[in-house]
Every structure is written in structure tokens, then in C-alpha cells.
Amino acid sequence: MDTTTNLPSVVLPRLLGPFRPRRLIVALILLGLAIAPGILGEVTRGLMVDAYVQVSAFVAATLLLFYGAERLFNFDIGQSLKNAKGWQVPMAALLGATPGCGGAVVVVAAYSSGNVGFGAVVATLTATMGDAAFLLIATRPDAAIVVLPLSFAIGIISGWVVDALSGDTMVPDKMAQCDMAPLVGRTRAKDYAFLALVMPGLVIGITQLSGADVYEVYGPFVTVVGLIGTVISLGVWTTSKLHAMTNGGDSPVTRMAEETAFISVWVIGAYLSYDYIVTFTGLDLEASFGTIGPLLPLMGILIGLIPGCGPQVLVTTLYVNGLIPFAALMGNAISNDGDALFPAIALNPKAAIWATIYSTVPALIAGYSFYFFAPGFMN
């Protein structure tokens, strides 16, 4: 019996795992665009390489460092927050300001478990920029140095104000312990494959940040690393059973691969959305946005109210490309809750809604303060 035709259907599921149909469709569309002839394929491949070496490699290295330290030192953040007492709000804000959504999710889970107060939730959701922080750090580190510490400080102040005003009225209405059992299981071959591409991708990314032309320095190796890294990212994401976040039950390498793959897809989508419009429509986005200048900070803030990191990554992409002012980015960074809003809604809808409302106030103040009093700052 000839089994050659059945080989891919046997080998691929074993290597990657069962595919998720909707994600598989998205991945196939992206791969189709990448292999398309002419300018479409050329632009798509270039953007995928940029997304991997400029963002994904940095995200992977950061997550591996963070989760590796967490596993090495066996640090129970939820219990530490419970024992922090007066330092709860600053610690929650610090976790929120950490790039990615992991720190904010931990605080939300700790609140639903009764370990922290409502002010800590407001502090972490106000301080977090979610996965968009990775993109900003990789592409505009000068702006990140301003945005992240400022969000951290505003988060602390917001948390303290909310605690002073709400007292004990905003207590959890649904108790839930954070399940730390493995969601994925043992470290898989695709996780190690993902890890193998991180180091060369990081070296290329750092070289690019130094201002050097990476194609002159490394030649075709840049394209090879970027495209293979992108394909592996799509493979991990397409076969993942997770929505975005992992937990401490899985290995640091698995957690790094799963979460970086999720972020990478959003970054690729944001990169393609912008460049396709500019390249294939000829639309002058800068002029278009310029006609509604005073509304841009408000638009950034309103987009920040949308749960998830995808829309926030798009806002950061618009800023990086000079289409929106720093004021809009700052307002979005404060109002957006990233992926942390999903578990907040699931565990405690009332607290999630009020925390989002409370974070909108400082976002308006900060966004329009920069717009009116420092209009050219970091633009």
C-alpha cells in the first residue's frame, strides 16, 4: 500500500499538533501573500522579515528571561502581592508596566482570588501597554523610555485614588483560584525550533537598531531567519489551544513560543495593514489624519477600550510611522488594558468595566496635556 500521499497528514499533526481551522485559514492567507508573484509577494516577505527581527525576536528573548527567572526562583507573585499591604498598588503597577500582558493578568487573577484590592487592578490596567510595548521598545526605544515609566507613575496614582474613593465597596464577587496546571504539557519539538531562531533573530535585530544595514552585514541570512521564524510562528499559533496567555505550569520555552507566536501574528497584521495601504492605494495617511488632529488623542483612547492587544499594536504602528502624535500614543497606552481585560471580564465583569472607566480619566488628562502643551514632543 502506498502511503506517500498520506505522509503530510500523518507527520504534520504529530509535529505541530491539531490545527485550529480559523487560524489555519489566516495562516494560509498570509503564506499565500508571501509567495505571491511580483510586488505583492516582495512587500509581504520584506514585512514578515521586519516583523520577526524587529519585534518577535525581542519579545521571545524578554519572555524567556522573565519566565525563566520565575521558574528558577519559584516566585509566587500572587502571595507576594497579598503580603505587600501598602506596597500592593505600586507592585501591581510595576507588573502592569512590564512589557506584555502577563503581569497584568497575574494581578487580575490575584484580585479575583481575594489577594489584592481593587486599586491594584486599576493600577495594573492603567500602567499596562500590553504587547504593544514590545513593538514600541523595539522600534522607538526613545519613546518607550517616556511612555512606560509615565504609565507606571500614573498607574500608582490612579490605584491610590481609587482605593481612597472606593474603600471596600469593590470587593470580588466571584472567587477563582488561578490554575497553574500545565495547559500544553512537555516542551515540544516546535518550541525548540522556535528557540533556535531567536538568537540569530535577536542578533540581527540589535544590529539593525545600531543603524547598520543588516542586509549588507548578513546578506541573505536575514531573509532566511526572518521567513523561517515567521513560518514557525504561524505553525505554533495555528496549532495552539491557547487564546494568548500561558501559565507557570508549562516550561519557559513553551510559554515563550506560544505567547511570542500570538504576538507575532498581530504584529504582522499591523505591518501589512499599514504598508499595503501606503504601497497599493497611494493614500496619504499622514495628511488624512492631519485633518482631524484634535480628535487623534481621543481616537487613541477609545481604541484602547477595545479588549485585546491587536488594536493597540496597530495604534503603536501608526505612531512609529509618524501618522499620529505622541499624545495619541500616550492616551492609548494608559487606556488600553491589553489581553488582561479578557480574564478580568470573565472573572469579574463589574470590576473590569469600572477599572476600564477609571483608567479612561487619566488617559484623557495625559493625552490632551501632551497634545496642547507639548504638541511636538517625541513626534
pLDDT at 40: 94
pLDDT at 171: 56
The strand ranges marked E within 66-211 are none
Spatial contact of 39 and 239, defined as CB atoms under 8 Å apart: no
Q: How many CB atoms lie within 10 A of CB 287?
A: 9
pLDDT at 175: 43
pLDDT at 280: 84
Residue that is written with C-alpha cell 497579598 in the block: 82
Spatial contact of 334 and 304, defined as CB atoms under 8 Å apart: yes
**pLDDT tens readout for residues 342-368:** 667 766 788 888 888 999 999 999 999
> Is this model's pTM higher than 0.75 or not?
no
For residues 127 and 11, the model is more confident at: 127
For residues 16 and 43, the model is more confident at: 43
pLDDT at 7: 38
Q: What is the mean pLDDT of residues 196-220?
A: 89
What's the grid cell of residue 323? 501618522
pLDDT at 247: 67
Residue that is written with C-alpha cell 464577587 in the block: 173
pLDDT at 12: 45
**pLDDT tens readout for residues 230-288:** 999 999 999 987 765 666 678 899 988 988 898 888 889 888 887 888 788 877 766 77
pLDDT at 100: 77
**pLDDT tens readout for residues 108-125:** 877 877 778 899 999 999
How much of the chain exceeds pLDDT 70, in percent? 86
pLDDT at 147 over 70: yes
Spatial contact of 158 and 359, defined as CB atoms under 8 Å apart: yes
DSSP label at residue 87: G
Residue that is written with C-alpha cell 481575594 in the block: 114
What is d(CA 309, CA 132) in angstroms, rounded to the nearest whole number?
7
**For the chain, what is the mean pLDDT?**
83
What is d(CA 204, CA 171) in angstroms, rounded to the nearest whole number?
48
Residue 123's nearest CA partner among 145, 91, 170, 83 is: 91
What amino acid is encoded at 178 in this protein?
C
What's the grid cell of residue 196? 533556535
